[in-house]
Amino acid sequence: MAATSKALSEDDIAAVIERMTEGLTLKQSCELSKVGYTNVITRIGKSETLTKLHACARDEYARFKVQAMHDIAKDEAIDVQRARLMVDCIKWEAARVLPKEFGDKIQQEHTGANGGPISYALEVIGIEPTAG
């Protein structure tokens, strides 16, 4: 029988969340702890402390899975097509969980002094910028 959200302390939920750093999804961790997934998600949403802990655990989960991806790629016992599928799934998930670290999109911003517009082009061709 799964525990209700009222029976769980923040420490209990924190323990469930921290298992994510070992490569378990939150849902798998809830099942292992015999705790209701919906209850845990609800409690995470209501607590700033648990929300921050969950965000950190998701980041560590993604890093753990990326390390596992290297092991999958090296494992000669796994069929090549299956290994490719597993690696692609991990890459997709990591790009969604940590887009700045594992995402494909590169965005460049160009600004002038103090974050303002660039005025260099006008000076190069000899046009004085007009005021106001």
Contact 36, 27 (CB under 8 A): no
**Distance, CA of 69 to CA of 67 (rounded, Å):** 5
pLDDT of residue 118: 66
| Topology of the domain covering 10-104 | Arc Repressor Mutant, subunit A (1.10.10)
Q: What is the three-class DSSP state of 107?
A: coil
Q: What average pLDDT does range 35-41 have in this prediction?
A: 95
Q: Which of 69-73, 79-83, 115-119 has the lowest mean pLDDT?
A: 115-119
**Which residues have CB under 8 Å from 97's CB, separation 6+?**
58, 59, 61, 62
Residue type for position 28: Q
Banded model confidence at residue 7, pLDDT cuts 50, 70, 90: confident
Q: What is the three-class DSSP state of 24?
A: coil
Q: What is the pLDDT of residues 111-127, one digit of tens each?
A: 766 777 766 555 556 66
Contact 131, 119 (CB under 8 A): no
Q: What is the three-class DSSP state of 104?
A: coil
